[in-house]
Structure 1
């Protein structure tokens, strides 16, 4: 690629230059109420077709009107067993004169709602502009192979060379704010889901300037930056290279100039999942990768029902959800949507270059809720007015991961859960002794795009998780020597080993269950349980698996087990050469 001389700004997602402050949404009070619908047909949070309204008179004489299910259904405390997926959620604005906790108590005591939850304010972070720099692709060091010299590199260029179908179109849905026109980026038609105030106009459109109220201004450019990291045009003599090519970028505006509410994010996800929304055409597109470089803090470290339900529906529809962990230098446990289930939560590393040992970026959230890491410092991307800049934040690490997944999706068709399972085993950790990552937790390291592709190939071939005969792992001459000289002798011919490529190393207290099922048995009833093991390499007798279907699953110290993984048993038919004599 040619090097282009262009104005290059340094951008860090942690200080502001915008007319609308990040805290604008936080100044508003909103709740999300959820209740059972009377019809199997789902409606969105922006539709009132299944609700009436009831007005409370406050001390000031102001009427506070809230939605009520059409049959005024009363819920008991026992109703908490109702599945979240059966619930319809709706936003309720709370007057400033009414304390939020009091509003929650009032609505909870009516018995009209299954759940009354706070609507979490979210933001994307902001930035400062500093001295210009005129370099671009040469600065995208994370595209190069992961190595001792480039310890936080993601091997993206090498992943490109492996693609069998590089021209296959992949769809990426960017839920964000601050979308701008850029010569180096083609958008698909986009939609606005933001409902921060009475000036909001949900429906078609996504460019930030189209939604600025008269007399207002906004310099936020977060959306164009994130979209460019994923899908800026490649090899076109302009600006930067996106992580993936032949990609359709779908901009979904869910915040106003950098801030908004999680309920609007949920509405966008529900629309992708098939909800009909007044003023929007029904979604008729193709599932793909969703990037959410946004987040908000929830002090009780819980994922609210309305966003978890929306996430579950989107993943069930085939969307892979990638999100940023947050830039507060705090435990990721407290930040949604990253702490929700069924998302790939991305933390940020430093560059690992120029005397900076590979480690977590100082601003990145951390801990066991992280699923994977990517570079989050000095990520070169698009900014306002067709310029190019350095981005820093988990907001830029997340689209790198989304782009690497989008590349691999050109050749492999997996479920969102399968893509998530590839994250830990496709990561590389080159943290040095004394690195902060070793103390706070940085998942299994930086996503390596080549390892992701290779593991995806193994998953497709059925060789990622398999049962093999242990002697087949050694050469024929060594096989013969082992049979003649080791105490087990001929018994080695029937020794099987479980190879679990999809599982990263076990943590303290974790164990692996092996289930060898005959007809009629299930993993859940435990009748085919062959044993529990605290090591990742398991050696058993071949006879344990003859004419059986084999599964393994990883369990934690509390006995909570992940979804069972099927093992291929085809390799058990490959008799070792020495055993044929």
Structure 2
């Protein structure tokens, strides 16, 4: 039996689930300590009282003092405050502009509506397969598609290769699990998922015209909306971490995780400020009514946000929250969006610091619905991902869902596995995705700023992370060092002066991968000095990822590299010179 359900049609059911404020009111976000121009050196606190007049001068919008501070944890000041105000016939963005222009309140922005819904879902009945992994859809479906090696399927992301690298127990058994957090909508119960913890941070009204919800510790589906909501949060979690080897449905990327559910929407819609508050909650920062929820007790891990709002730029309040979460040690993975448009008009996809995931169809081409653009970092299968059906744990029935909502948790599950195994930081995970992604079999990806680095290669990400952890990503070694002594002697006999070859070094940047439109700069400082307290000397700038150089002195100098683009160079990354010292000189040169 098959049936398709376009879930967006559910919005009209029962007259409920309208996250937007009534036409007579707007929600505005007042950012803490944000100047509106370079001439403004300070800004009022978010609790600052004050009024702004309507353009016709007939009435005012007024902000009460102290409300946000009084309702945050321990009375501390939150980073932004949300106020509901009468519209007086004006648009929220325009009112926010007037507040900002007044100079009394810093940057004020409209609280955007956010949504998270699949493109479509399908129920399907199948017979169970009997394999090493006994989930029915693993061998019959997943193993031949996104779990496959990149060389064996156009949409393969090498997840089975990743499993082989770390061993099945490392992904199937909960031993020292990493924290995987989902900021999403309804988290239904299912035999596929066990929730470690959860919170409800959505303020969306449960009924049209009803009161806003308050943050609390109960993240379960509210009975008022259970009959009309889908299971988006559950299905996103299951994509990354559905229980494997339970003879049901499909396999998750990893089970060695603590699953944390943060409900920032109701029935797939909500306010973007609630998603920002969810990030602040994870970072341990105060927000309005944060005193109503138990603080997050997990460790910094991977955050998945399969949601988005239409916005020409990343709102200040969201970027602030993202920055705080990353500073706290989290890696944030977000969906590119399902409008078939440019990611530049979708938040959080257009925010700094997040990993943006676009969606591929089952044949490896760009899915028709997937947003693309310069913000995209990586692509993964997002079409027809096996997920649990809503309110259905029948063994023979499972669902498929499509959307960038499901390509994002494929990446999140992979990064959770890599981070748990290696402990590498956010920057290294991002670099590993960039260095290892495969070409997408779609001519549209040949155009710059369309598909990011390309298709996810899970095993490649693990390889780079392990190499970076061992200090081998950027290295200097004797040019003859990788040869046997016999080969060294032969090369010395046939290719010139011993002194020249024995003092030649092989310099490798980014494991031999040349990033697009960049150059690599080799720099040095004396041994014993600190990089952050010294001015490095530039040895040379190169447009190759591997070069051979003489006249290097690893015994007396430390070497580092910088990635340079358009004349601007990034931070110094230390080069590994363990195999370049006099002590490690090739045998034939001693």
Counterpart of 2:303 in 1: which secondary structure? strand
* Equivalent-residue separation in structure 2 for 1:240 and 1:287 (angstroms): 27
Deviation at 1:321, TM superposition (A): 0.9
Q: Do residues 570 (structure 1) and 556 (structure 2) align?
A: no
Counterpart of 2:570 in 1: which secondary structure? coil
1:218 aligned partner = 228
State whether residues 385 and 402 of structure 2, in contact with CA within 8 Å, keep that contact through their aligned partners in structure 1: yes
State whether residues 498 and 538 of structure 1, in contact with CA within 8 Å, keep that contact through their aligned partners in structure 2: yes
Q: Deviations over 1:110-140 (max 9, x none)?
A: 3222212233322113444556342622211
Q: Do residues 95 (structure 1) and 91 (structure 2) align?
A: no
| Greater CA drift, 318-327 or 479-488 | 479-488
* Equivalent-residue separation in structure 1 for 2:326 and 2:223 (angstroms): 31
CA change 1:565–1:502 in 2 (3 A) is farther
Q: What is the 5 A alignment of 1:96-135?
A: 96=87, 97-130=89-122, 132-134=124-126
1:370 aligned partner = 376
Deviation at 1:392, TM superposition (A): 1.3
Q: Deviations over 1:307-366 (max 9, x none)?
A: 1121111111111111111122222222221222221111111222xxxxx322222122
Q: Do residues 284 (structure 1) and 297 (structure 2) align?
A: yes
1:233 aligned partner = 243
Q: Do residues 16 (structure 1) and 26 (structure 2) align?
A: no
Tell me the number of residue pairs that the alignment of Structure 1 and Structure 2 aligns: 535
1:311 aligned partner = 322
1:144 aligned partner = 147
Counterpart of 1:132 in 2: which secondary structure? strand
1:51 aligned partner = 47
Q: Deviations over 1:194-246 (max 9, x none)?
A: 1234232321122233463xxx8522221111011111111111222111013
2:481 aligned partner = 472
| Greater CA drift, 178-187 or 485-494 | 485-494
Counterpart of 2:163 in 1: which secondary structure? helix
State whether residues 550 and 566 of structure 1, in contact with CA within 8 Å, keep that contact through their aligned partners in structure 2: yes
Deviation at 1:430, TM superposition (A): 5.0
Counterpart of 1:203 in 2: which secondary structure? coil
Q: What is the 5 A alignment of 1:54-93?
A: 54=50, 64-68=61-65, 88-93=79-84
CA change 1:101–1:168 in 2 (3 A) is closer
State whether residues 11 and 129 of structure 1, in contact with CA within 8 Å, keep that contact through their aligned partners in structure 2: yes
* Equivalent-residue separation in structure 2 for 1:60 and 1:383 (angstroms): 55
CA change 1:102–1:162 in 2 (3 A) is closer
Deviation at 1:55, TM superposition (A): 5.4
* Equivalent-residue separation in structure 1 for 2:123 and 2:61 (angstroms): 50
CA change 1:528–1:505 in 2 (3 A) is same
Counterpart of 2:421 in 1: which secondary structure? coil
1:207 aligned partner = 220
CA change 1:317–1:131 in 2 (3 A) is closer
Q: CA RMSD in A?
A: 3.1
* Equivalent-residue separation in structure 2 for 1:219 and 1:30 (angstroms): 24
CA change 1:195–1:537 in 2 (3 A) is same
State whether residues 224 and 383 of structure 1, in contact with CA within 8 Å, keep that contact through their aligned partners in structure 2: no
Q: Do residues 384 (structure 1) and 390 (structure 2) align?
A: yes
Q: Deviations over 1:461-487 (max 9, x none)?
A: 112221112222445444333323335
Deviation at 1:492, TM superposition (A): 1.9
Q: Do residues 427 (structure 1) and 437 (structure 2) align?
A: yes
* Equivalent-residue separation in structure 2 for 1:546 and 1:304 (angstroms): 50
Counterpart of 1:175 in 2: which secondary structure? strand
Q: Deviations over 1:510-541 (max 9, x none)?
A: 22121111255747975422222222223222
Q: What is the 5 A alignment of 1:510-525?
A: 510-518=518-526, 519-520=528-529, 522=531
CA change 1:339–1:547 in 2 (3 A) is farther
Q: Deviations over 1:484-504 (max 9, x none)?
A: 333565312111122223674
2:180 to 172, 175, 196: 172
* Equivalent-residue separation in structure 2 for 1:534 and 1:21 (angstroms): 58
User: What TM-score do you get using the length of structure 2 for normalisation?
Assistant: 0.82
1:457 aligned partner = 466
* Equivalent-residue separation in structure 1 for 2:103 and 2:409 (angstroms): 42
Q: Do residues 532 (structure 1) and 541 (structure 2) align?
A: yes
State whether residues 262 and 278 of structure 2, in contact with CA within 8 Å, keep that contact through their aligned partners in structure 1: yes
1:398 aligned partner = 408
| Greater CA drift, 51-60 or 477-486 | 51-60
User: What TM-score do you get using the length of structure 1 for normalisation?
Assistant: 0.83
